Structure formats: C-alpha cells, structure tokens
Structure 1
Amino acid sequence: MPRSGYDSALVAVVGLLVGAVIWTVADVAYDDPAAGRAQPGPVCPHEGIRVTAGPVNPAMGLRAMDLTLENCGTRAYRVQGYPEIRLLDRDQRHVTGVSVLHGSAGIATVGGFDEPPNAVTPAPGERASAGLLWRNTTGFGGAAHVPYLTVEARSGALPVLLSPDGGLDLGTTGRLGVGPWRSSTTTSTSTSTTGSGGGTP
C-alpha cells in the first residue's frame, strides 16, 4: 500500500476508535451512578424512571413546587416515604444552613404534606408526585437561593440533578418541607422506553 494510502487508513481507524470511546463515556455518564448524576431527557434512564420539577407556585411569601416521577420503564417501580433532596449552589456544592425536613415542617398547613407516607408503585406510563414547600421571607442573615437540587426517588437510587426555573428562593427561613410520594392520576403521554427500563416488580 502506498504511504499516503496507509496514512489515510490509519487516520480513519483512529477516528473510529476515538468516536467509540466518546460514545462509551457519554453512555456511562448518563446511566452509571459511579460516573455522575442522571440527567432528565427523552431517553429513559437505566433505572426506568424520570424525575422532573414543576413550576414554582408563589403565594404571599409561600412557595410550593411539585416533583414528578414518571415510570418510563417496562416494570412497576415502587417508592415509599419521601424523596431524598440535596440542595446545591451555582457551583453544585452542598448548601449549608438549610434544613430539609419531612412534611410541612411548620411552614404552612397544606393538604397531603403531613399525611403518613404509603407505598406507591407506578406501573409503566404512570406517575407519582411529591411536593416541596418553603417561604422566601427574609430576616437577619443572608438569603439562600438554590439553583440546583438532586432528587433520589428512593434510598440508593441514582440522584437526578434538577434546575428548577428560577431556582428555590428560600429566604432566611432555613427550612424546606418535603411531602411524601403520592399516586398521580395523570398518565404519561410519553412512552419512550429506550434503555433497560429497570424497576421493582
């Protein structure tokens, strides 16, 4: 083979290998807990669920936001209790000085927040939801603004990194209430199940 032809073939082979490596890294970063946090998207993650944040509902200093768990997999997915929430700043470092508490945490009386949690098992295409509750009132000290949070649907689940529109304006109250998972009557219209579609029977 002429030298120029050999060089062209070598470049083509190296290009294919580099492309394969890039694809593999991207795939692992999406699904592997050791590689990072899952990102919500059109492809169903390996665990078989998507978790998304709804819009913030403001009312006279009181704030509320829903988290939605969509079963995009092929098997039922069981959750019980409360989603595990971790608050992050703009550099995605842990926010200190804010207590994440189960229930309404004395922030306000809101239906469903202080009811005992029950097991919820969305079938494929079904959803569950949980609420976040806080006040953005301010007093002494610096006000906390949280642009990111991670959500674990259940203990040991892959954390999903969320960026709610406008972030969480927690003021100086230092408290965030988390409601339990509840069944949702809304059935998903998106049935993409690309991926392994994990779940718990």
Structure 2
Amino acid sequence: MYDTVLVAVVGLLVGAVIWTVTDVSYDDPAAGWSKPGPVCPEEGVRVTAGPVNPAMGLRAMDLTLENCGTHAYRVEGYPEVRLLDRDQQHVTGVSVIHGSAGIATVTGFDDPPGAVTLAPGETASAGLLWRNTTTGFDGAVYVRYLTVAARSGSLPLLLTPDGGLDLGTTGRLGVGPWRTAGGTR
C-alpha cells in the first residue's frame, strides 16, 4: 500500500513540475515569436491550441484567442498560421488556405470573415481543418509546431498542439475565420 501511495504522489509531483515548465511564458523577438503562458503578452492577447479532433481521417482543431489585456482588441479575417517541423523549421509543400479548401463541408467554416472586437476577458476562436490521407510513397507531413498571429503585424505565438498535426500527403490545411463563441462577429 505504501509503495502505491508513494508512486502516486511522485507521479503527481512530476506532473506538476512538467505542467509548470510548459506554462512558462517567454518572448523571443529575435526568433520572431512568443510562447503563450500564464502571463499576458505585451500585445494583450494570448492564442492557444485546443485538442485535435480526429474522425475517420478528417481532423479539426480550434485556436482560441483570449483578450487578456486591459483594452478592447479587434481582429478581422483569419489568423496567420505558419507550420513548423520538429526542428522549428518552416514546413514546405503544404498550402495554408482560408476556408475549408474543399477538405470537408463544415458549417460556418466557409462563411465570410468579419471584424471581431473582444473586450478584456473575452475570447474568439478559429478552426483548422485537414485530412490525414496518405497516398503514394511520398513522405507524409507531420507538423509539430505552429506559429499563429492573431492579425497581420502581430507577434506570432509559438504553439505546440497536443499530438501535432498529421497532414498526410494532402498538402492542404484549411483555416477558418475568427468568430466569437456564438459564431458572431
């Protein structure tokens, strides 16, 4: 019994340490990105990646934009997404396309974008959509990291989606527009 309790306590402590380390916030302007964490970045917004939702080769993931600042924050259109490999190098051969890019029919994904203004504490989301289809013998694309800028000119935030993005050989990633929780602008 003592061994079981000890293992459980050590596991919880190790988990807490790992959680703390991954939540450290830092900026690296020299690299051109910022890593989200518990501290609100200077721009006053934080972007986080939700879990990947896999369904028979179709994959989807939400990006959440949180106004953690003290002033209203306005975005219009789509997040700027850049794909990086495990060495944080730009992934080539994949088109990042506004809308569903013919990947699947998803309600609201191809609706025209509009302006979204977030008061402090409010959030908006945008979706990512892709297929994990692999055809032929070409290497499948695996994206370990993303950089996401909430709007043009924003400092991109480095995100590490849980499990990464397994894009297969399709060469396409659809990006939906920013929307508030009710789908409004």
Same-fold status (TM-score > 0.5): yes
- 1:170 matches 2:167: yes
Match of 2:29 among 27, 33, 40: 33
Higher Cα radius of gyration: 1
Q: How much has 1:39 moved relative to structure 2?
A: 0.9
Supply the AA of the counterpart residue of 1:155.
S
Q: TM-score, normalised by structure 1?
A: 0.75
- Which residue number corresponds to residue 193 of structure 1? none
- Which residue number corresponds to residue 79 of structure 2? 83
Gaps in structure 1 of 5+ consecutive residues: 1-28, 186-201
Q: Deviations over 1:74-100 (max 9, x none)?
A: 001000000001000000000001000
Equivalenced residues, count: 157
Q: Which has a greater percent of strand?
A: 2
Between the two proteins, what is the percent identity of the paired residues? 82
Q: TM-score, normalised by structure 2?
A: 0.82
- Which residue number corresponds to residue 13 of structure 2? none
Distance in structure 1 (CA, Å) of the matches to 2:28 and 2:141: 31
- Which residue number corresponds to residue 100 of structure 1? 96
Q: 1:73 to 1:149 in 2, by over 3 A?
A: same
Distance in structure 2 (CA, Å) of the matches to 1:156 and 1:34: 15
Q: How much has 1:30 moved relative to structure 2?
A: 3.5
Q: How much has 1:112 moved relative to structure 2?
A: 1.2
Higher relative contact order (Cα pairs below 8 Å, separated by 6+ residues): 1
Distance in structure 2 (CA, Å) of the matches to 1:169 and 1:31: 27
Distance in structure 1 (CA, Å) of the matches to 2:135 and 2:57: 13
- Which residue number corresponds to residue 194 of structure 1? none
